[in-house]
Amino acid sequence: MLAGSYSSRWCGTAVVPQRLPLQQRVKAQRRRSSTKSVRASIFDYVNENGRTYHSYQAGSYLYPNDEPESERLDLQFEILKVLFGMRNYFAPLEDPEKILDIGTGTGKWAIEMGNEFPDCEVTGTDLSPIQPEWVPENVHFVIDDAAEEDWLIRPNSYDYIHTRVLLGSFQDFRDVIRKSYRYLKPGAWMESQEFYSTLYCDDNTMTESYPFQEWTRTQDVAAMNLGRPLRIANKLKRWYEEAGFVDVHEEVFKLPINPWPKDPHLKTLGRFSESSLLEGLQAFSLAWFHRGLGWSKEEIEVYLIQIRKSISDRSVHAYHKVHVVWGRKPEQGEQPAPRRS
């Protein structure tokens, strides 16, 4: 394989490795039997209130998959890369052979990892086929749901499993962590990078009645009604440890919501953050408030008018926290972290 070479590497269903145990082979065969219908239906998107949503496992992910959202996801990728000091990961990777990116979105992270590690097989999974067709030859994308109990891969397979901004995507993110632990090789790493879905302020310029903060509370109520918790970021370190990971680390970054900071670097980050929030506010609200609270599209759009104004209010010095957590699966014979119930 030549580093930097590109090919069409998109797959419509999960890639099923060979030599699985009998029970898994039976499950794999059942899934393969529906391959044709899955391939035919994954592009038949659900239309709701003027936005499109994934059709595979319809309803389990509440953000759109249309072009405006894809563009916002690409902007979000660039924002986080700058916020993280131009890093894509924090775990100490050494020549990984297999990487899994759960909820890959538009695939930008997976593609950059494929370029950085040309001898590594990088797999990105998602519910929507919104990734580019032409990617590095060592990168491929799979339509699959990490909420499935069986990932149809051999345990102890991956050197690194990565998740990013999956708040509200699962009924219980601890299940994803536990399954990732199972499918990682001994000594391999998992890493999660998550926004915490509330606002912070260090100088009392944000009041309790600040509309954007009130919106975060409203979205949280909708999320809990739908069984899709949003506020997971501050629990990740503990969940990693409970799953058995060792050498668990956490870094927390501050991301201003608009260009209120005086520091030029933070001001630039805030400018792009504001753009991402304004472009994504409808996407963050429509399905959540419609399905979770019973609001009409018209009610939602009227409500969002004041929220947009508040996001751009430079007198409020608010920011999001972005939590980055990474941990290692113990080596064979190494004492794992004590598991808690």
> How far does the chain reach from its first CA to its final CA, in angstroms?
45
Question: In whole angstroms, what is the distance from residue 13 CA to residue 32 CA?
Answer: 8
What's the rounded Cα separation, in Å, for the pair 18 and 39? 21
Tens of pLDDT, residue by residue, the chain (341 residues): 334 455 544 444 333 333 334 344 334 444 444 443 445 567 788 899 999 998 877 767 899 999 999 999 999 999 999 999 999 999 999 999 999 999 999 999 999 999 999 999 999 999 999 999 889 999 999 988 888 877 767 889 999 999 999 999 999 999 999 999 999 999 999 999 999 999 999 999 999 999 999 999 999 999 999 999 999 999 999 999 999 999 999 999 999 999 999 999 999 999 999 999 999 999 999 999 999 999 999 999 999 999 999 999 999 999 999 999 999 999 988 876 665 54
Is the pTM higher than 0.85? The answer reads: yes
Q: Estimate the crossing angle of helix 211-226 against helix 297-311, to 10 degrees.
A: 140
Give the Å distances, CA to CA, from 286 to 58, 211, 306, 337.
Answer: 16, 17, 16, 41
Is 102:183 a contact under the CB 8 Å cutoff? no
Q: Letter for the amino acid at 328? A: R
Domains of the chain: 6-195+229-253+321-328 (3.40.50.150)
Q: How many angstroms separate the Cα of 65 from the Cα of each of 21, 46, 277, 284? A: 35, 10, 16, 12
